[in-house]
Amino acid sequence: MTEQSKINRLLSALLGRNSDVRRTSKGEGGFGLPEFASTDLKPEPAPMTIVHHPDGRMSQYPPVEKWDDWVEWDGKLWPQRVARRYMLIPTVCFNCESACGLLAYVDRETLEVKKFEGNPVHPGSRGRNCAKGPATHNQTYDPERILYPLKRVGKRGEGKWKRITWEEALSDIAGQMRESRLKRRDGIVYHVGRPGEDGYTNRCIVAWGVDGHNSHTNICSSSARLGYALWSGFDRPSPDHANARVILLISSHLETGHYFNPHAQRIIEGKMAGAKLITMDPRLSNTASMSDLWLPTWPGSETTVLLAIANYLIQTGRYDRRFVRRWVNWRETLAAIRDGKLDLGDPALQAEIAGLAFPLSEDDFVYFDRALKALYRDFTFERAAEEAQVPVERIRQAAEWIADCDGRLAAHVWRAASIGNLGGWQVARALFFLNVLTGSVGTRGGTSGNEWNKFVPKPFASPPGPEAWNELHFPIEYPFAHYEMSFLLPHFLEEGRGSIDVYFTRVYNPMWINPDGFMWLKALRDESKIKLHVALTPTWSESAWFADYVLPMGHGGERHDLMSQETHAGQWIAFRQPVRRVAMEKLGRKVRYTYEANPGEVWEENEFWIELSARMDPDGSLGVRKWFESPYRPGEIITVEEYYRWIFENSVPGLPEAAAAEGLTPLQYMRKYGVFEVKRENYTPYEKPAPAGKGVEVDGERKVGFETPSGKLEFFSETLYNWGWPEREYTIPWPLKSHVHPDNIDVQKGEMVLLPNFRLPTLIHTRSANAKWLYEISHKNPVWMHPSDAERIGVKTGDLVRVTTEIGYFVDTVWVTEGIKPGVIAMSHHLGRWRLQEDLGVNPGMSALARLEEDEEGRFKLNYIHGARPWKSFDPDTERIWWEDVGVHQNLTHAVHPDPLSGAHCWLQKAVNVRKADPGDRHGDVWVDTNRSMQVYREWLALTRPANRFSPDGNRRPLWLKRPLKPQAAYYKLPKVAISRNGQGGHEVEQPVIAKAGQ
């Protein structure tokens, strides 16, 4: 057939058929580097907003009145003078938990974002940011960002994807949620890394009627939380660094830590005003190097050092007796001594106390003083110095400064030693003991509870707590877990404890960030255990690779959220905004959904949850839909704008008035400033008079007090005593023997401690790989090693070492430095990203191409084929990648170490062997035996004292302790039948011997 007749045939066929000629156009592309319009306007001199920083520096910002129309020269085009016309839209950084303010410079014509700078009116960050704030721009214009919803084609993890529409994704996922919810109330799970928002998504989960919240807390802060909670009911500290006399940090707050930028500026401010800075860290961090006193304590010895300082205050009487008498549960403690619940180690004094007339009088406080002296007398400086391997003078010096702090001790531990060690929660408890002894609780320059300084407003309607208990998150072995046992999820699944119907990972990369990643890999690819995995992420990750849906979500300038943090002794609330959307609206364009303003088809999460929830329950029969109906338009689905409008109009005290004063609605006010200061100062709120029927009596007055059973700060914990932990080392602040205690590390045999949990200041956990500037600054994580150790094993900087852990090994280069304690090796978190396919997965410049192999017996091997490579994209910078080493993924080789109380993963690893690499070893090699993984897991699981054997009241968990999205009280009851294995039931559960508690 000739070409001509072929075409004729084609044309005839077309003429003969009935076609509807549609002209839609959807395809890839259209996304690239931002472009900006020039303007004939010239920058005019304007009175700049000047922020005087307390450290003496000063910054200038365009004045708020000019934010809607700001003209300035384009600095990039210098020496040409090209003026640009912007709209300055405030938003909130999404790159760590600090919630610093950002100001987006949005081109008024092209609507592209030129840069992100600080927001000068934000009371927490005060116009400043760390490097990660402005890097929001990199993320926004990352050539590898995911722009469209993708659905898996082929097997999970095979790497084949197709683009789908949002409607397809929403209806399929909502359908599966509905199906699950009709069957059970623990089948839907939302697994989040750092939330970066307050309350919105949690409300959605509760509205779905499930117990489905899962967080990364147990690989982060759970031990610190338990330590603080046992004292006070609040689960995290809020130090007032700026006004402190002594700042005591068990962390590296000047470079990372909660809340990095807001805290770092206030620590330096305090220091400039004369505060002494003391840091405990086996590693010479930037913070340690800025400190007046560095205590390079052996990991796990921190509690002993803190108690030695406490002992010094106690024995010398240099503690705040009035505060302790008024606010510590000393009466309950003396009663416990009387009843033999607490052994003083001093029989004579114990007998004397037993003989006291109860109830006690104020004067009996002397017995508590004597009891403290008896309890802690062995905690000498010498003992602490020996355990910590630190010169004794330094500990004495620290104690002197603290004794002199005058109620102004700002102290903080969040991850560091508390998450590192078995029993790390006692580090936080011993640290807060110093706040208690010095009376630095909630004072100016002291340490507050986070809730006093954080403001979370109520939304228009709050669904009641779930009528369910998720056994996979809060299994009966861990009644004190703070909180979900998230990092054991794969181990629980492996044991057949349950399954998940719909699993959302939200900006979270569990397989990469958790210990024992190959166990995650096994779980994630098993479709019988995780039936549907939806990854909500702006960028590729190792875990998203094993998802069924990959749904692109917006970055810091592309979404709505509310956020408040306890950055200092005051309260503020900040509004994250999709800056292009806001600019478009200000320019008079109507925007219904944020994705209309975002690149590609990137949604914002808030709208995603609304649309998804509405589709989950289209007719309202599940009782879900009603929580997503507009308070302004009854019966109709809410818009994201209405959600926040209601909050600003009704639940932020002072905001409507402040807005009215400027002739704005509350929503307009927040759109304009991006932040509102709710309270300037909030010291010692527990001293306030209690509302009728509430609070606790102190010196004859009813006070607000603390959220503990006694209403006071709890030195002796009756709760722990009653729940099966009656020994002294649990009921009061006391050292617990760490799993990396020197007794457990035989240096002569080549054993060392691996400190794997420090962060470099430019890393956003696993989200840095889409920020080119950040990766240029730090991309590799060599093993820090002391020269004496390097000499012993015969390596020098740059050599390869093989580090063998309990379950496998990895190979990395070594960096020989005096900045780490002998016997300890350190390695930064968050580096060693990899991908399995050349052109898909984590950015090629930020990850290594790897080969993954596995044998029949559950052993895994990861080898790098090559490191980072430049690649071509619309961004010429991607061709300028000059580094190859992107670090080594150490977490894969970490055994899980669940603390039996707090449930924390104790990050410190016993390095069974550290030696020069074998001839065949290559950088990045990882080998793991998951059989060993399960064995170590079981060893640690055996340390627990499960609720079904020890609960004093038939509950799974003490009711008064916090828990995210607390179920209704009835669901705290222990189950009669173990773990609902997909509704198939299990064995009978041993029931608690209630009597045991009271004996």
User: Which member of 87, 88, 100, 906 binds ligand SF4 (CB under 6 A)?
Assistant: 100
Upper half-sphere CA count for residue 89 (Cβ side, 13 Å)? 31
What is the distance between the alpha carbons of residues 239 and 254, in angstroms, rounded to a whole number?
A: 14
Judged by CB under 8 A, does residue 589 bind other proteins? Answer: no
Q: CA nearest 282: which of 303, 262, 297?
A: 297
CB of 7 to other proteins, least distance (A): 4
Place of tokens 């619940």: 341
Question: According to CB under 6 A, which residues from 970 to 999 bind ligand SF4?
Answer: none
Judged by CB under 8 A, does residue 993 bind other proteins? Answer: no
- β-strand partners of 849: 835, 866
Give the H/E segment covering residue 251. none
Q: What does 130 interact with, of other proteins, ligand SF4, none (CB < 5 to 8 A by kind)?
A: ligand SF4
Judged by CB under 8 A, does residue 160 bind other proteins? Answer: yes
Judged by CB under 6 A, does residue 132 bind ligand SF4? Answer: yes
H runs (alpha helix) in 128-281? 136-140, 166-183, 200-207, 222-232, 260-272
Q: Which stretch binds ligand SF4 (CB under 6 A): 124-132, 159-167, 494-502, 872-880?
A: 124-132
User: Which member of 119, 261, 722, 933 binds ligand SF4 (CB under 6 A)?
Assistant: 261
Binding string, 824-863, against other proteins, x = CB under 8 A? Answer: --------------xx----x----x--------------
Cα-trace Rg, the chain = 29
Give the H/E segment covering residue 256. none
Contact 733, 426 (CB under 8 A): yes
| Displacement of CA 312 from its chain's centroid (Å) | 35
Q: CA nearest 416: which of 295, 542, 245?
A: 295
Q: Which stretch binds other proteins (CB under 8 A): 197-205, 488-496, 522-530, 871-879?
A: 871-879
User: Which member of 96, 409, 521, 720 binds ligand SF4 (CB under 6 A)?
Assistant: 96
Instruction: Specify the residue, 10 or 46, whose C-beta has the smaller distance to other proteins.
Output: 10
Judged by CB under 6 A, does residue 256 bind ligand SF4? Answer: no
Q: Which stretch binds other proteins (CB under 8 A): 14-22, 205-213, 460-468, 620-628?
A: 14-22
Q: Which stretch binds ligand SF4 (CB under 6 A): 67-75, 98-106, 242-250, 466-474?
A: 98-106
Contact 253, 412 (CB under 8 A): yes
Contact 913, 750 (CB under 8 A): yes
Instruction: Specify the residue, 158 or 346, whose C-beta has the smaller distance to other proteins.
Output: 158
SS3 835: strand
Judged by CB under 8 A, does residue 883 bind other proteins? Answer: no
**Structure tokens belonging to residue 587:** 């320019």
Whether omega before 483 lies within 30 degrees of 0, making that bond cis, reads yes
Give the H/E segment covering residue 718. helix 718-722
Judged by CB under 8 A, does residue 552 bind other proteins? Answer: no
Q: What does 261 interact with, of other proteins, ligand SF4, none (CB < 5 to 8 A by kind)?
A: ligand SF4
Q: CA nearest 539: which of 255, 825, 136?
A: 136
SS3 860: strand
Judged by CB under 8 A, does residue 876 bind other proteins? Answer: no
SS3 932: helix
CB of 124 to ligand SF4, least distance (A): 8
With contacts defined by CB under 8 A, how many residues of the chain interact with other proteins? 41
Judged by CB under 6 A, does residue 565 bind ligand SF4? Answer: no
CB of 136 to ligand SF4, least distance (A): 8
Contact 710, 697 (CB under 8 A): no
Amino acid letter, residue 331: R
What is the distance between the alpha carbons of residues 429 and 435, in angstroms, rounded to a whole number?
A: 10
**Structure tokens belonging to residue 975:** 């189950």
Q: What does 377 interact with, of ligand SF4, other proteins, none (CB < 5 to 8 A by kind)?
A: none
Q: Which stretch binds ligand SF4 (CB under 6 A): 97-105, 537-545, 656-664, 981-989?
A: 97-105
**Structure tokens belonging to residue 980:** 């609902």
Judged by CB under 8 A, does residue 162 bind other proteins? Answer: yes
**Structure tokens belonging to residue 875:** 């961004």
Judged by CB under 6 A, does residue 93 bind ligand SF4? Answer: yes
Judged by CB under 8 A, does residue 168 bind other proteins? Answer: no
With contacts defined by CB under 6 A, how many residues of the chain interact with ligand SF4? 13
CB of 770 to other proteins, least distance (A): 17
Handedness of CA 709, 568, 195, 591 (dihedral sign): positive
CB of 581 to other proteins, least distance (A): 16
Q: Which residues bind other proteins (CB under 8 A)?
A: 3-4, 6-15, 17, 19, 21-23, 25-30, 32, 151, 153-154, 160-163, 838-839, 844, 849, 869-874
Q: Which residues bind ligand SF4 (CB under 6 A)?
A: 93, 95-96, 98-100, 125, 129-130, 132-133, 260-261
